[in-house]
Amino acid sequence: METIIEVKNLVKNYGDKQILKNISFNINKGEIISIIGESGAGKSTLMRCLNGLEGVNSGSINFYDTDITKLKEKEKNSIKKQMAHVFQDLNIIDNIYVIENVLIPFLNRKNFIQVLFNQFSKQEYERALYCLEKVGISKLAYTKAKYLSGGEKQRVAIARSLAPNVDLILADEPISSLDEKNSTQIMEIFKRINSKKNKTIILNLHNVEIAKKFSDKILALKNGEIFFYKRSTEVNEDDIRKVYQTS
């Protein structure tokens, strides 16, 4: 299988505190990977390193054959456009229409005048509507985002991540504020995107049972280190207990 992400000996410090300690793992194209661990284990920091939002102290992160840790900012921005992100706080703009939120990734392709006047092509509008349809909320396209529920906003964020048609989607705690029903629905959307479009999806999750149900593999972090990285079908109750066990 083709490797889309290869991390080698990754170290990340904040001041004198080491957050990620010699992290190494591979992700194959088309996999769903869930990252689990206690609060403070380094999950969000690892995600921000993978998507280029955080620099690293040492080690490498290869996206396909490109080590993003060695790139200058302009080159890194080019790589970022090949990834999509669902942030923990969603970054949904309440006072614009749902479809306008989904169109936001296309602004990276525009010149100043086009950005100033929100000039999107017919093809871009069609793509945005298509993505909203895929997450089941196309009927809300011309509703202001401020009127949406938490679950609906989550779907908008996922639709926005689909709009650029990239290979890799990274989602930081995409179901943290949702009830069990909505959490399952959101994960079913990710699973459908993965199976039908062969998208690679990396998720930070706090719900271990959902991670086991919907992921191909689970990467467990503990105290900034990889505690285990294995197929979800191989993860047992003892593994989970040890991840969350405090010494």
Structure confidence at residue 25 (pLDDT) = 98
Structure confidence at residue 145 (pLDDT) = 96
Structure confidence at residue 111 (pLDDT) = 62
Beta-carbon neighbour count of residue 217 at 10 Å?
21
- What is the distance between the alpha carbons of residues 200 and 194, in angstroms, rounded to a whole number? 7
Structure confidence at residue 23 (pLDDT) = 98
Pair of tokens at residue 214: 């919907």
- What is the distance between the alpha carbons of residues 204 and 75, in angstroms, rounded to a whole number? 26
Is residue 152 within 8 A of residue 137, CB to CB? The reply is yes
- What is the distance between the alpha carbons of residues 212 and 231, in angstroms, rounded to a whole number? 9
Q: Specify the fold of 1-82+166-247.
A: Rossmann fold (3.40.50)
- Show pLDDT as tens, one digit a residue, over the chain (247 residues): 899 999 999 999 999 999 999 999 999 999 999 999 999 999 999 999 999 989 999 999 999 999 999 999 888 888 888 899 998 888 899 999 999 999 998 887 666 566 556 678 899 999 999 999 999 999 999 999 999 998 999 999 999 999 988 999 999 999 888 888 888 999 999 999 999 889 999 999 999 999 999 999 999 999 999 999 999 999 999 999 999 987 5
Pair of tokens at residue 32: 């769903």
Is residue 155 within 8 A of residue 143, CB to CB? The reply is no
- What is the distance between the alpha carbons of residues 120 and 77, in angstroms, rounded to a whole number? 21
198 Ramachandran zone, left/alpha/beta (phi>0; psi -120 to 50):
left
Residues 6 or more apart whose CB falls under 8 angstroms from that of 179 comprise none
Q: Sheet of 66-67: strands edge to edge?
A: 17-28, 3-14, 58-63, 66-67
Would you kindly state where each structural domain of the chain is located, as residue ranges? 1-82+166-247, 92-165
- What is the distance between the alpha carbons of residues 197 and 245, in angstroms, rounded to a whole number? 37
Structure confidence at residue 88 (pLDDT) = 82
Structure confidence at residue 177 (pLDDT) = 80
For the stretch 159-190, pLDDT in tens is 999 998 899 999 999 988 888 888 899 999 99
Angle at 182 between CA 106 and CA 195, to 5 degrees: 60
The 8-class DSSP code of residue 42 comes to: S
